Amino acid sequence: MKYSEIFYSIQGEGQLVGLPSVFFRTSYCNLRCIWCDTPYTSWQPEDKDISVEDAVTAILAYNCPQVVITGGEPFMQAKELTRLCQQLGQQGQHITIETNGTLFEPVEADLLSISPKLANSNPDANNHHFPLHQRLRINQPVLRQFLDQYNCQLKFVVETERDLVEIQQLQQEMQIPSSTIVLMPPGITRDQIQGKQNWMVEICKQQGYRYSPRLQVDIWGDQRGI
């Protein structure tokens, strides 16, 4: 399985924020978000290899009941992901998979943490990645399968009012409960995040969405493996 890192930290985002967790970061992504904060898994993936069995051993070695499989896009390696989740599930691990929600495979997981990408993620229009990213970034049939079959949260990175219009349109078209939707500020520094906090909290109060901090940025700033 191609991966870039395994580390022990706390969940910084979403409904399990603050919970100690082992992170297994897989390589490769089918999208090219302009603000991607893990280019070493998407734009320039590190080609480190690990067998599923060795990954399970490495994850269990931390003796932590929560594992977060993240990326990149974990569903790019669907066969290996299926085996990994099966083996972690057999060991009683609580499994969160963080995904962009564009590829589906019926894997064993306790929480699907889906981050559908809004137009604010588009590369520049003259970038050769633009057409594919724009075409792939929202896949309603895949989102439908996840929402119908798993405990899900839909996390959105929100920069402007226009993003909210997109979220509400998707919510309406797919009949997504507000309690499933999580809004997160953009940014890789505390200042960038704090600049948007008050505005976003008011929107969450109005709409019944959950506000998520980016605790890893608050605590450590723009660092990897933490």
Binding residues (CB under 6 A) for ligand SF4: these are 29, 31-33, 36, 38, 41-42, 71-73, 100, 117
CB of 39 to ligand SF4, least distance (A): 7
The token pair at 18 is 């603050």
Whichever of 21 and 99 has its CB closer to ligand SF4, that residue is 99
The Cα–Cα gap between 40 and 93 comes to 27
- Quote the least distance from Cβ 31 to ligand SF4, whole Å: 4
Minimum CB separation of residue 65 from ligand SF4 in Å reads: 26
Which run of H or E residues covers position 130?
helix 130-136
Which tokens hold the place of 150? 């798993």
Nearer to ligand SF4, 21 or 100 (CB): 100
Measured from the CB atom, the residue of 71 and 186 that comes closer to ligand SF4 is: 71
Could you list the beta-strand ranges (E) of the chain: 2-10, 20-26, 48-49, 66-70, 94-99, 111-114, 152-157, 181-184, 210-211
Q: For residues 6 and 25, is the Cβ–Cβ distance under 8 A?
A: yes
Q: CA 12 to CA 221: how far, in whole Å?
A: 12
Nearer to ligand SF4, 29 or 87 (CB): 29
Q: Which is nearer to ligand SF4, 75 or 87 (CB)?
A: 75
Q: Cβ of residue 137: shortest distance to ligand SF4, in angstroms?
A: 8
What is the smallest separation between the CB atom of 41 and ligand SF4, expressed in angstroms?
Answer: 6
Report the interhelical angle of 52-60 vs 78-90 (nearest 10°): 40
